[in-house]
């Protein structure tokens, strides 16, 4: 058993305050996980996740003790949760920026084949989707969705790119 399992149980069963301790345990920031382990260990008297979970499940007073420890360290817990959220959002922003950089590089490529591949695939796929709708007896929504994936993705990425440029972002 891992500390993340203990964290999930706490999030689902401990209520509002101590639920944040569970969030610390399921995160991926080592300092936050260590803070969560410290609080749970202090409440249960065990640094083994299996024993800690058994203590929390079997003795309601350990959950009360965990809540008391949470309230004593509330600002620290909230700081760790805030840090985990900030890192997750920064990661998502970097991922989006990398996608946009790749798209822009393809759009600005000197090689015509590279520059026209994405839009060409999208137009071909859109044409195939229209042909499928008009020729199939009863179009299957899964197949139609698969055929429309490229044009929707291409149009969506271009729209996001335009919005980001307009708002002065990435």
Domain boundary among 58, 90, 122: 90
Shared-domain flag, residues 53 and 86: yes
Whether residue 113 is found in the same domain as residue 86: no
Distance CA 150, CA 117 (A): 12
- Contact between 40 and 62 (Cβ < 8 Å): no
**Measured between alpha carbons, how far is 139 from 119 in angstroms, rounded to an integer?**
25
Long-range contacts of 69-74 (CB under 8 A, 24+ apart): 69/39, 69/42, 69/43, 70/17, 70/18, 70/20, 70/21, 70/39, 71/17, 73/35, 73/39, 74/17
Total number of domains constituting the chain: 2
Residues 27 and 81 both lie in one domain: yes
Of the residues 32, 63, 90, which one is the last residue of a structural domain? 90
Residue identified by tokens 């399992």 is 5
Does 146 map to a domain? yes
For residue 104, what pLDDT is reported? Answer: 84
Determine the pLDDT at residue 142.
95
What would the two tokens of residue 84 be? Answer: 């985990």
Asked if residue 21 lies in contact with residue 80, where contact means CB atoms within 8 angstroms, the answer is no
Contact 126, 151 (CB under 8 A): yes
**Residue 165: its pLDDT value, please?**
65
Q: Are residues 14 and 86 in the same domain?
A: yes
Distance (Å, whole) CA 43 – CA 154: 52
Residue at 104 is within a domain: no
pLDDT of amino acid 147: 95
Per residue of the chain (170 residues), what is the pLDDT tens digit?
Answer: 888 888 888 888 877 767 778 877 887 777 778 888 888 888 888 888 888 888 888 888 888 888 888 888 778 777 877 888 888 889 889 998 898 888 888 888 899 898 888 889 999 999 999 999 999 999 999 999 999 999 988 877 556 666 666 666 55
Residues 7 and 61 in one domain: yes
8 and 2 Cβ atoms separated by less than 8 Å: no
Residue ranges making up the domain that contains 23: 3-90
Q: Which of 63, 90, 117 lies at the terminal end of a domain, its last residue?
A: 90
Q: Model-level pTM?
A: 0.51
Examine the domain organization and report whether 39 and 79 are in the same domain.
yes
């Amino acid at each position: 058993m891992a500390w993340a399992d203990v964290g999930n149980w706490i999030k689902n069963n401990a209520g509002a305050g101590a639920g944040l301790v569970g969030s610390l345990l399921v995160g991926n920031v080592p300092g936050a996980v260590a803070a969560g382990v410290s609080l749970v260990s202090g409440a249960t008297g065990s640094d083994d996740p299996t024993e800690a979970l058994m203590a929390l499940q079997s003795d309601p007073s350990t959950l009360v003790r965990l809540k008391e420890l949470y309230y004593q360290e509330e600002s620290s817990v909230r700081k760790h949760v805030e840090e985990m959220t900030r890192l997750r959002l920064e990661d998502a922003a970097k991922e989006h920026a990398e996608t946009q950089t790749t798209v822009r590089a393809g759009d600005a490529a000197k090689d015509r084949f590279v520059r026209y591949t994405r839009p060409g695939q999208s137009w071909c796929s859109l044409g195939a989707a229209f042909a499928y709708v008009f020729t199939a007896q009863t179009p299957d929504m899964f197949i139609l969705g698969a055929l429309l994936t490229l044009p929707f993705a291409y149009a969506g990425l271009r729209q996001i790119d335009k919005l980001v440029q307009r708002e002065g972002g990435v």
